[in-house]
Amino acid sequence: MKLTKIVSNLLDSNTFVLENHGKVIVFDAGVDAMQVANVVGNKKVVAVFLTHGHYDHAFFANGYAKFFGCKIYASKDIKDCLSDADKNYSEGALSLSDFSNFIFLEKDGKLEIGEFEVKYFSTPGHSKCGMSFLVGNDFFVGDLVFKQGIGRTDLFGGDKKQMLESLKKVQGINFEILHSGHGEDSSCLEQERNLKTFVRFLSR
Ligand SMILES: [Zn+2]
């Protein structure tokens, strides 16, 4: 498997392109389809996964679906966020009404797509529509957890209690590398410390 990170102009969010045996899946959509296509080359994009509905992570999702002819996998709660520019913080730029390319996920589960097995976990807290995705040892969490710290809970759909529950859930998931929606990756060991600290803070 080969993983490429593209940093966007939208608040420096990360878009991840994961390739395996000529098939590609993309996590988040902060850069336009051409930038993804430049990385992908002649391989086939089979799916896009959205960690949540904030504009810096989801803006180009429908563009990918049209350009690559693939589906978008996201929490069922993302509709509310993507259809309302105030809730996705795009300042009027993103208010989706066409969800025909979306496949909505609920709770936790597992998908087999192309060459990939993707485990998905409902992880609200930073956003009600928060989802995290595990492929092999790579864990994509969006803005739930960062290398040093956790996501904001004061934005629309954020919730401290849900954040605490999601952090506890992450503590129980086996991964090697955690890929955040902004900034650097972190190791399981680094996250062990980080998660323990914030679980303690939020439990007070
Ligand atoms: Zn966010």
- pLDDT value at residue 115: 87
Residue 18 has a CB neighbour count (10 Å cut-off) of 23
How far is the C-alpha of 111 from the C-alpha of 122, rounded, in Å?
14
The dihedrals phi and psi of 29, each to the nearest 5 degrees, come to -145, 65
Q: Ligand 1 centroid vs 78 CA: distance in angstroms?
A: 12
How far is the C-alpha of 102 from the C-alpha of 81, rounded, in Å?
14
Number of domains in the chain: 1
Helix (H, G, I), strand (E, B) or coil at 138: strand
Residues with CB under 5 A from ligand 1 (ion): 54, 143
The stretch 60-74 carries a mean pLDDT of: 98
CA 171 to centroid of chain Cα atoms? 18
* Tokens of residue 154, six digits: 């004061």
Q: Ligand 1 centroid vs 151 CA: distance in angstroms?
A: 7
33-53 tens-digit pLDDT: 999 999 999 999 999 999 999
Residue 152's domain is classified under what CATH number? 3.60.15.10
96-155 tens-digit pLDDT: 999 999 999 999 999 999 889 999 999 999 999 999 999 999 999 999 999 999 999 999
Q: Ligand 1 centroid vs 156 CA: distance in angstroms?
A: 10
Owning domain of residue 19: 2-203
